[in-house]
């Protein structure tokens, strides 16, 4: 039975990843800081392990890795992410405009979106290398693309996802000798707490697409930015 580790698995895309991997018969390890009713309701729907800890607590992350021991992890899926303290869904670009940059908020966004996937990859790399799947995935965004930025704004989030792309590129190069594929995948613009109601995609469709891409990645894709539809995206 393959194993997937999913962060931010209590709602949004993370919860849908849990549903779909469970339905497919995977041992699904859901990392959350607060289990939701929707996640708890999936216990019994398959081989689900809920691991409750705050990703931004380094000691808690290390303890999670220690609990895993040497268990193989086929897919490490870094899904948890944040835009910052405002709500794009409710307030649009206003909280993310030029003129309101805040050091604490930038640190929070970079810590969760960039540092946590990096550190978790370091902590679990032996588990991933010991698996059949050998994939480390971090969800990125088209908002991190230089070429696709025609609207401006969203400074911390855009910068963090551009950093994710740079980080995953290095990881792809460094871990290729161990047979690991590392890639940033854009899930599309999806109706979630982060994406808001105006998003064109529903979570089941986006997640099914991302899962297809994860399954079909080859060493040739290593380090590329790929969309949920399987298309290479510009940096």
Ligand X SMILES: NC(=O)c1ccc[n+]([C@@H]2O[C@H](COP(=O)([O-])OP(=O)(O)OC[C@H]3O[C@@H](n4cnc5c(N)ncnc54)[C@H](OP(=O)(O)O)[C@@H]3O)[C@@H](O)[C@H]2O)c1
Measure Cα distances from 11 to 150, 224, 225 in Å.
30, 27, 24
What percent of the residues of the chain are helix, what percent strand, and what percent coil, each to the nearest 5? Answer: 45, 15, 40
Among positions 35-54, residues that touch ligand X (CB under 6 A) are 54
How does DSSP assign 173-228, residue by residue? HHHGGGT-EEEEEE--SBSSTTT-TT-SB-HHHHHHHHHHHHHH--GGGTT--EET
With binding defined as CB under 6 A, does residue 77 bind ligand X?
no
By CB under 6 A, the count of residues binding ligand X is 27
Measured over the CA atoms of residue 60, residue 107, residue 163 and residue 174, the dihedral's sign is: negative
Helices (H) and strands (E) in the chain, counts: 8, 7
**Of the residues 155, 193, 202, 230, which one makes contact with ligand X according to CB under 6 A:** 193
With binding defined as CB under 6 A, does residue 55 bind ligand X?
yes
Assign 135 to helix, strand or coil.
Answer: strand
CA–centroid distance for 31 within its chain: 11
Whole-angstrom Cα distance, residue 112 to residue 115? 6
Take residue 102 and report the two structure tokens written for it.
């805040």
Candidates 38-46, 172-180, 192-200, 223-231; binding stretch for ligand X (CB under 6 A):
192-200
The nearer residue to ligand X, 38 or 178, going by C-beta atoms, is: 38
With binding defined as CB under 6 A, does residue 192 bind ligand X?
yes
**Of the residues 135, 189, 207, 226, which one makes contact with ligand X according to CB under 6 A:** 189
- Residue 37: CB minimum distance to ligand X, A: 12
The nearer residue to ligand X, 177 or 184, going by C-beta atoms, is: 184
Whole-angstrom Cα distance, residue 172 to residue 57? 26
**Of the residues 3, 4, 5, 14, which one makes contact with ligand X according to CB under 6 A:** 14
**Of the residues 84, 86, 195, 223, which one makes contact with ligand X according to CB under 6 A:** 195
The nearer residue to ligand X, 55 or 226, going by C-beta atoms, is: 55
Among positions 99-138, residues that touch ligand X (CB under 6 A) are 112
- Residue 233: CB minimum distance to ligand X, A: 11
- Residue 51: CB minimum distance to ligand X, A: 11
The nearer residue to ligand X, 1 or 232, going by C-beta atoms, is: 232
Interface residues toward ligand X, by CB under 6 A: 8, 10-14, 33-34, 54-56, 79-82, 112, 139, 141, 186-187, 189-190, 192-195, 199
């Amino acid at each position: 039975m393959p194993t997937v580790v999913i962060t931010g698995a209590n709602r949004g895309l993370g919860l849908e990843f849990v549903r779909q991997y469970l339905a497919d018969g995977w041992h699904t390890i859901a990392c959350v800081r607060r289990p939701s009713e929707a996640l708890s309701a999936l216990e019994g729907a398959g081989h689900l392990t809920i691991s409750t800890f705050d990703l931004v607590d380094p000691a808690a992350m290390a303890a999670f890795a220690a609990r895993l021991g040497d268990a193989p992890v086929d897919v490490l899926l870094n899904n948890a992410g944040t835009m910052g303290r405002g709500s794009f869904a409710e307030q649009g670009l206003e909280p993310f405009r030029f003129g309101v940059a805040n050091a604490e908020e930038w640190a929070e966004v970079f810590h969760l979106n960039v540092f946590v996937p990096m550190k978790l990859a370091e902590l679990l790399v032996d588990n991933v290398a010991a698996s059949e799947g050998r994939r480390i995935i971090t969800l990125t965004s088209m908002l991190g693309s230089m070429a696709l930025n025609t609207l401006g704004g969203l400074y911390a989030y855009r910068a963090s996802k551009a950093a994710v792309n740079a980080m995953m590129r290095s990881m792809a190069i460094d871990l290729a000798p161990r047979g690991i594929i590392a890639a940033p995948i854009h899930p599309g613009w999806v109706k979630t707490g982060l994406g808001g109601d105006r998003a064109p995609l529903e979570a089941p469709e986006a997640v099914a697409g991302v899962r297809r891409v994860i399954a079909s990645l080859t060493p040739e894709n290593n380090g590329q930015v790929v969309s949920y539809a399987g298309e290479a995206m510009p940096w």
